[in-house]
Amino acid sequence: MSTDEQFWKRYAARDSTEPFFALAPMYDVTDVAFRQLFVRYGKPDVMYTEFTSAEGIIHAVGREKIGHLLWREENETPLVAHLFSADPAAMRAAARVAAEKGFDGVDINMGCPVKNIQKQGCGAAMIRTPERACAVVNAAKAGVADAGRSIPVSVKTRIGYLREEIDTWIPAILSSQPAALAVHLRTKKEMSEVPAHWELMPRIVALRDAHAPETVIIGNGDVKSVDDGIEKARNYGCDGIMVGRGVFGNPWFFSRETKGRPPSVFARLTALREHLALYQMYFDGVKNYEIMKRHFSAYVRGFAGASSLRARLMNTHTLTDADEILATVLREWTSLS
């Protein structure tokens, strides 16, 4: 096994009593600006890019439109390029691009429930086409090799379209021998409307042991804190923990120093200002400002005056306007302290 292939195994083996932690890939969320906050305040063991179309990233026009989805900084390693496609040829070409760009791994989405994605045969639709799913994994491995590298290829999926598919879908995708398999512990039909089925994780681990013992298993769903993730891994047997929505508004989530809690409201609002500045630095003229607003309710909550401040921020039209409001609030707090 080459150096390129080591990071999943290294994290899985570092301490059998404690899992590694990964920041989940989320479209219009886990961009380079968002990830840089976690580098500053509490870096997880592994990070992923946003959800990125393989077809888009290999097409000249598409690359101009969505190339920013694969922007990265050197301090984010290990960083995994999160791709989707139902076309093995497109996935092979895109995996090569990711490898050539210096990513530490390639991950394939096989769990997204969005209708538009499924109409393309991608995301959760791949659960219903296991042979094609495996062909896409193998194509990604070939693309990595085309680039002269040996970075790992992994998969993120769900337990099935329906709960009873766990015993057919999980072995099917494991037959492609992915380096890691992250499982959102809900079905496609359930979306995120029910509690995650952590009680099914031991079954997934057993299937891994039987079909692909070298594959690292990552659990995803309803992880409230690092301590909660550690407890879930110990109770249910997975190697790593992936966290998505739970990190919103809290770049300290993975920090052992703060135990995953923002030090203060002042620190949280200061982090929001930093997020605005990073967003402007990377994406001014590239991404719509309105996308940034989804973070306001996460940062600005749980303190006196939060509702009023949040409403003011939501009514802004530029990054500068939002920053000026926050700067004024923070100056007022400083003068009163």
- At 53 the pLDDT is 97
Given a cut of 90, is residue 193 above it in pLDDT?
Answer: no
- At 1 the pLDDT is 42
- DSSP assigned state of 48: E
Contact (CB, 8 A) for 273 and 327: yes
Distance separating alpha carbons of residues 187 and 179, to the nearest angstrom: 22
Both 148 and 283 in one domain: the answer is no
User: Does residue 216 form part of some domain?
Assistant: yes
Given a cut of 90, is residue 270 above it in pLDDT?
Answer: yes
- The beta strand positions in 185-225, using DSSP E, are 216-220
- At 5 the pLDDT is 61
Contact (CB, 8 A) for 165 and 140: no
| 122 flagged as catalytic | no
Residue 301: which domain range? Answer: 265-336
Mark which of 202, 218, 247 sits at the end of a domain. 247
Given a cut of 60, is residue 2 above it in pLDDT?
Answer: no
CA distances from 6 to 3, 78, 82, 125 (A): 5, 11, 18, 30
The stretch 229-256 carries a mean pLDDT of 96
Both 202 and 313 in one domain: the answer is no
User: Does residue 253 form part of some domain?
Assistant: no
Identify the weakest region by mean pLDDT among 44-58, 121-135, 140-154, 180-194: 180-194
Residue 308 token pair = 């009023």
Pairing of strands 216-220, 240-243: parallel
> Among the options 112, 122, 134, 238, which is catalytic?
112
Both 164 and 21 in one domain: the answer is yes
- Averaged confidence pLDDT in the chain: 94
- At 337 the pLDDT is 57
The stretch 211-226 carries a mean pLDDT of 96
Q: For residue 236, what is the domain's CATH number? A: 3.20.20.70
pLDDT tens-digit map of 78-127? 999 999 999 999 999 999 999 999 999 999 999 999 999 999 999 999 99
Both 301 and 174 in one domain: the answer is no
Both 195 and 322 in one domain: the answer is no
Distance separating alpha carbons of residues 225 and 236, to the nearest angstrom: 16
Both 209 and 276 in one domain: the answer is no
Both 143 and 195 in one domain: the answer is yes
- At 333 the pLDDT is 83
Given a cut of 70, is residue 149 above it in pLDDT?
Answer: yes
User: Does residue 256 form part of some domain?
Assistant: no
User: Does residue 252 form part of some domain?
Assistant: no
> What DSSP string describes 221-268?
S---SHHHHHHHHHHH--SEEEESGGGTT-TTTT-TTTTTS-S-HHHH
User: Does residue 226 form part of some domain?
Assistant: yes
User: Does residue 254 form part of some domain?
Assistant: no
Which uninterrupted H or E stretch holds 144? Answer: helix 130-146
Both 176 and 278 in one domain: the answer is no
Closest CA to 244 of 1, 17, 26, 91: 26
Both 195 and 310 in one domain: the answer is no
Distance separating alpha carbons of residues 337 and 322, to the nearest angstrom: 23
Which uninterrupted H or E stretch holds 38? Answer: helix 32-41
Both 143 and 51 in one domain: the answer is yes
Q: What percent of the chain has pLDDT over 90?
A: 88
Both 29 and 91 in one domain: the answer is yes
Report the DSSP beta bridge partners of residue 242.
22, 220
User: Does residue 255 form part of some domain?
Assistant: no
The stretch 212-237 carries a mean pLDDT of 96
Both 192 and 332 in one domain: the answer is no
- DSSP assigned state of 327: H
Mark which of 216, 247, 278 sits at the end of a domain. 247
- At 190 the pLDDT is 87
- At 336 the pLDDT is 66
Confidence of residue 192 (pLDDT cuts 50, 70, 90): confident
Given a cut of 60, is residue 198 above it in pLDDT?
Answer: yes
Given a cut of 60, is residue 144 above it in pLDDT?
Answer: yes
pLDDT tens-digit map of 14-72? 766 789 999 999 999 999 999 999 999 999 999 999 999 999 999 988 889 999 999 99
Contact (CB, 8 A) for 45 and 86: no
Total of domains in the chain? 2
Given a cut of 90, is residue 311 above it in pLDDT?
Answer: yes
Contact (CB, 8 A) for 120 and 168: no
Mark which of 188, 220, 247 sits at the end of a domain. 247
Which uninterrupted H or E stretch holds 119? Answer: helix 115-119
User: Does residue 328 form part of some domain?
Assistant: yes
